[in-house]
Amino acid sequence: MMLILTTRNDAVKIVAHRPIVWFARRILSGVAVVWAAATFAFLIQCVLPGDRAQIIINVTSGNVGAASSAELAAINAKYGFDQPLAVQYGKYILRILHGDLGESYQQHRPVAGIIAEQIGPTIVLAIAGLLIAWIIAILTTLFIAGRDNIWSKLLNDMQVFLATVPPYWLATILLVVFAVKLRIFPVIGGNSPIGLVLPTLALALELSGFFGQVVQNEFTRVLEQPFVTSARARGMSDFGVRLRHVLRHAALPGITLSGWALGKLLSGAILIEVVFARQGLGGVLVAATSSRDVPIVSGAVLISAGLFAVVSVIVDLTYRVVDPRIKLR
Amino acid sequence: MLQLRPKPISQQADLLTVDSLRVSFGRGIDEKTVVRSISFSLRPGQCLAIVGESGSGKSVTARALIGLAGRHANVHARQLSLDGTDLMGLSDRAWRRIRGNEIGFVLQDALVSLDPLRRIGKEIGEGLRLHRAVSSREELAQRVIALLKLVGVPDPETKAEQLPHQLSGGQRQRALIASALALDPRILIADEPTTALDVTAQAHVLSLLEETKTRGKGLILISHDLAVVSRVADEILVMRGGEVVERGNPVQIFRDPGHPYTKQLLDAVPSGRPRGSRLSPSTIVRSPARQTQPAVQSPPNSRPILLEATSLVKRFKGPDGTLRPAVDGVSFELRSGETLGVVGESGSGKSTMARMVLALDEPDEGAVRFAGRPWTTLAERERRARRRLISLIYQDPLSSFDPRWTVERIISDSLSSDVETPRKRQERVIELLDMVGLSQALLDRRPLELSGGQRQRVAIARAIAPNPAVIVCDEPVSALDVSIQAQVLDLLGYLKDHLGVSYLFISHDLSVVRHISDRIMVMRRGSIVDSGATDEIFRNPQSEYTKSLIAAMPQLVRDHQIGHSATILEEGIA
């Protein structure tokens, strides 16, 4: 959140006359974010309680007993744990630069490969969630917001409810009602489009509550602006003004939120995937976390940071398209 | 189907007839009537002006005429008809055909009345598209350019592609008028079309409206300022509290105002009064408890110099990355007990200059000395002790207050820490409120619960709280109605006489500056083009620019001449 807001200010100042400089700076700051995430992941591995060699032996063998010192020394030598911390860190960063995120303790396969196999469905789910959340928020706002009737009030209450309900709870309810009772959607959908419906809804409804509240607040504020009256005085219909003038203004804070939302969606998607038994990063991560398969977890952290940096650039570019004042200021 | 066009318009037939218009909001016991029984008619080529303070119901009246009084408004009228067509009970669809097409509507302050995210050309063309008045994209573009030319916006091809904030205030307002004129409506309603503009831009917009009138359009002009409407209006309605208290042609009203309120409005116009005289009838509550020594009545030139600015320069980066001077070599001095007026259009550098005087911005060249000692060249830490000696009053007090603070806290916050006990602090706050003519009942109010005039008085109380030597007033009355403006100007004059403070008084309004200042400095593009004693400037302006400012000052046209149309439009304006 903080990251998006501060970089946005940078955008306002820098975009002014040199878009290339602005872009270069954004790439650099994105790299810095990923680097910080990598460092963080590394430090976590070091300060985690328990001896790492011991953990690896336990994970591999499935035993919980203490390993002999000979075994430990072998593992320490293999993974380089016996070297000074600075050397370990340097090697770690160097490996990341070569696209090597380490090897899973449990599966003995490269982490990059494991994540690459699983991340596709997760990203699809997260983006679908974002789109649906936007569509729900925009449609309800366009038709209902700022009107003085019972629907407007109900919508508002509904949004607050959705925004506060935990998504896994919502997911369970959706699953029970639409899949088990009504049998409209499959309980386990795999990766088919029809199987995407319920998980997407479970993710999107919560977010649509958030977006809806932000967009609706701005929408009702903008509805009172003089240029709205101006447009109506030209003969534009109420709905025309909402669609062509007000929505654009109201979308701005929502766009700012989208960067944060995609981060939230990725973590939300992981939970939802477990609930719906979907293929994706979720299952892998849950398994890796419970067995303390650290390379997979820190690999996921790195990838998320990278995605987040990319998304925030996209968000800023979108913002510039919707609000041309920024580009020209 | 509504048929509005075919009816032949004779010069005498009424274009718009309003009989006993009444507008209220809410229902039942909550019902609040804001317009009671207003009647008038408008003929082609005629201008009707509705004048009154904010809250008088003039804007609601205007909006009721295009069916946009608001969702909760109840509009009743014995008759409301446009060229014989009844407008009462029209469906929304039918209204939409009239809006823009038959009646054009221009609002105040084009910065917020034009969609800030849309290009000027698109906004102007919107009416044309809505009413399907053009058949192709090319025709639309041509019509938009033609409209911008009509209202005298220079370089229309470029401006059509720009956003509202990239145009000057005057150009924006003219673009807004162009959007209202797009479909060549028979009636143009303008709600405070010049309020946010500086004098020259104001004069241009008025000429444009006048010209629209001479093209045979019916014009309804709404304003709080009698001087503004006096040039264009054929008939004036003076509104107060939802009622018309006086009506007549300008000659009648200005020569012989019948209603005391009309007289009050006339008196409030600074340009119509001797300099320094009272503008408002209400007397300020004067506190006998605090009679500080009255200002030293020594000849102005022998008083000590408080502020001394030498060759101030401040540069900012322009859109192309080059440094441009916003203030370019400005020198002046401000003596104790004196008011120095600074006049200039927006962008002339007057606010930048004020920020340097307040040591909020550091000058790139030159320096300001305060009370004979260095000021801008000091480190902030060394300045802090003397900061309280220079106060500031802003244009918009609301945005300079913390909305959650009470009046007491706002003023108390500025008191010097020498006033120690809470009780003494409160007493002092009450005393200050008293001095600015406010009752202590307001102590617990929050800014949003105050009227515009009360807010500015609280801002003044806050400014005098630390016993400053100098108060920098940056457009302190620009956001106020004329009658409130008059009260605030009177208050500032009173405080100067009794506290002996000096004012650096910044405004775009020459008549206001003339009224309050001992000396005047005219700024343009960062430089001083004229300066001297107020009367001297008016008697013998040195620069062409000052001459044009003086000529553009809205005067009460006591001898009303119809057709006294300026030819500024044809001359083409920069």
DSSP for B472-526, written as a single string: EEESTTTTS-HHHHHHHHHHHHHHHHHH--EEEEEES-HHHHHHH-SEEEEEETT
More confident of the two residues B222 and A21: B222
| Spatial contact of B191 and B62, defined as CB atoms under 8 Å apart | yes
In Å, how far is B433's CA from the nearest CA of chain A? 34
Residue B410 lies inside a defined structural domain of this protein: no
In this complex, is the C-beta atom of B195 within 8 Å of any C-beta atom belonging to chain A? no
Residue B351 lies inside a defined structural domain of this protein: yes
- A248 contacts on B by Cβ (under 8 Å): 117
Q: What is the mean pLDDT of chain A?
A: 82
Judge if B340 and B481 occupy the same domain: yes
Judge if B139 and B46 occupy the same domain: yes
Nearest to A226 among B71, B107, B119 (CB): B107
* Residue B334 CA neighbour count, 13 Å, CB half: 28
What pLDDT, on the 0 to 100 scale, is given for residue B292?
42
Residue B147 lies inside a defined structural domain of this protein: yes
Judge if B38 and B154 occupy the same domain: yes
Distances in whole angstroms, Cα of residue B157 to Cα of each of B119, B161, B368: 12, 7, 44
In Å, how far is A229's CA from the nearest CA of chain B? 8
Report the chain A residue with the minimal C-alpha distance to residue B320. A17
Nearest to A233 among B99, B115, B119 (CB): B99
- A225 contacts on B by Cβ (under 8 Å): 112
Judge if B240 and B306 occupy the same domain: no
In this complex, is the C-beta atom of B97 within 8 Å of any C-beta atom belonging to chain A? yes
Count chain A–chain B contacts defined by CB atoms under 8 A: 83
Judge if B29 and B103 occupy the same domain: yes
Quote the CA–CA distance of B264 and B280 in Å, as a whole number: 7
Distances in whole angstroms, Cα of residue B488 to Cα of each of B262, B428, B500: 19, 21, 17
Distances in whole angstroms, Cα of residue B330 to Cα of each of B318, B323, B325, B365: 20, 17, 11, 10
CA-based max dimension of chain B: 78
What pLDDT, on the 0 to 100 scale, is given for residue B321?
67
Interface touch B319/A16, C-beta < 8 Å: yes
Report the chain A residue with the minimal C-alpha distance to residue B106. A230
Question: Domain range for residue B152?
Answer: 16-268
Give which of A234, A318, A329 to mutate to test B binding, by max B Cβ within 10 Å: A234
Residue A148 lies inside a defined structural domain of this protein: yes
Judge if B114 and B228 occupy the same domain: yes
* Count of C-beta atoms within a 10 Å radius of residue A184: 11
| Spatial contact of B534 and B541, defined as CB atoms under 8 Å apart | no
In Å, how far is B320's CA from the nearest CA of chain A? 7
* Domain CATH number, residue B324: 3.40.50.300
- B118 contacts on A by Cβ (under 8 Å): 245
Judge if B200 and B342 occupy the same domain: no
Nearest to B163 among A234, A248, A328 (CB): A328
Report the chain B residue with the minimal C-alpha distance to residue A16. B319
Judge if B86 and B147 occupy the same domain: yes
Residue A43 lies inside a defined structural domain of this protein: no
| Spatial contact of B56 and B239, defined as CB atoms under 8 Å apart | yes
Report the chain A residue with the minimal C-alpha distance to residue B100. A234
Nearest to B130 among A234, A245, A324 (CB): A234
Interface touch A16/B131, C-beta < 8 Å: no
Residue B561 lies inside a defined structural domain of this protein: no
* Count of C-beta atoms within a 10 Å radius of residue A286: 14
Q: How many helices (H) and strands (E) does chain A have?
A: 15, 0
What pLDDT, on the 0 to 100 scale, is given for residue B294?
43
Residue B140 lies inside a defined structural domain of this protein: yes
Residue B452 lies inside a defined structural domain of this protein: no
Helix B137-150 and helix B120-130, axial crossing angle in degrees, nearest 10: 120
Residue B399 lies inside a defined structural domain of this protein: no
Find, among B80, B82, B41, B35, the residue nearest to B60 by Cα. Answer: B35
Question: Domain range for residue A128?
Answer: 117-290
Residue A261 lies inside a defined structural domain of this protein: yes
Domains contained in chain A, number: 1
Judge if B307 and B181 occupy the same domain: no
Interface touch B117/A225, C-beta < 8 Å: no
Interface touch A234/B319, C-beta < 8 Å: no
| Spatial contact of B323 and B501, defined as CB atoms under 8 Å apart | no
In this complex, is the C-beta atom of B464 within 8 Å of any C-beta atom belonging to chain A? no
CA-based max dimension of chain A: 86
Judge if B148 and B50 occupy the same domain: yes
Quote the CA–CA distance of A125 and A264 in Å, as a whole number: 12
Distances in whole angstroms, Cα of residue B384 to Cα of each of A323, B179, B360, B379, B387: 40, 51, 12, 9, 5
What pLDDT, on the 0 to 100 scale, is given for residue B279?
77
Q: Which long-range contacts (CB under 8 A, 24 or more apart) does A123-126 make?
A: A123/A266, A123/A307, A124/A196, A125/A196, A125/A199, A125/A200, A125/A203, A125/A265, A125/A269, A125/A272, A125/A273, A125/A278, A125/A280, A126/A203, A126/A262, A126/A265, A126/A266, A126/A268, A126/A269
Alpha helices, H only, B388-481: 397-400, 407-412, 422-435, 452-464
Taking any CB pair shorter than 8 Å as contact, residues of chain A touching chain B are 16-17, 148, 225-227, 229-238, 240, 245, 248-249, 322-325, 328
ipTM of the predicted assembly exceeds 0.90:
no
Interface touch A234/B72, C-beta < 8 Å: no
In this complex, is the C-beta atom of B132 within 8 Å of any C-beta atom belonging to chain A? no
* Domain CATH number, residue A131: 1.10.3720.10
What is chain B's pLDDT, residue by residue, as a tens digit (574 residues)?
444 444 444 445 789 999 999 999 888 888 888 899 899 999 999 999 999 887 788 888 999 999 998 878 899 999 999 988 899 888 889 999 999 999 999 987 777 899 999 999 999 999 999 998 888 999 999 999 999 998 888 889 989 999 988 888 788 888 999 999 999 999 999 998 887 677 778 888 889 999 999 999 999 999 888 888 888 899 999 999 889 999 998 888 888 888 888 888 888 877 666 666 777 765 444 444 444 444 444 556 678 899 999 999 999 876 666 788 889 999 999 999 999 999 988 778 888 899 999 999 899 999 999 988 899 888 888 888 889 999 999 887 788 888 889 999 999 999 887 777 889 999 999 999 998 988 888 899 888 888 878 889 999 999 999 999 999 999 888 878 888 888 889 999 999 988 989 999 999 888 889 889 999 999 998 899 999 999 899 888 889 999 888 888 777 655 444 333 333 333 333 3
Helix (H) or strand (E) holding B35: strand B32-42
| Spatial contact of A130 and A262, defined as CB atoms under 8 Å apart | yes
What pLDDT, on the 0 to 100 scale, is given for residue A64?
67
Quote the CA–CA distance of B268 and A25 in Å, as a whole number: 56
| Spatial contact of B174 and B127, defined as CB atoms under 8 Å apart | no
Judge if B310 and B255 occupy the same domain: no
Domains contained in chain B, number: 2
pLDDT in tens, A185-225: 777 766 677 888 888 888 899 899 989 989 988 998 898 88
Report the chain B residue with the minimal C-alpha distance to residue A328. B319
Nearest to A235 among B109, B119, B131 (CB): B131
Judge if B221 and B361 occupy the same domain: no
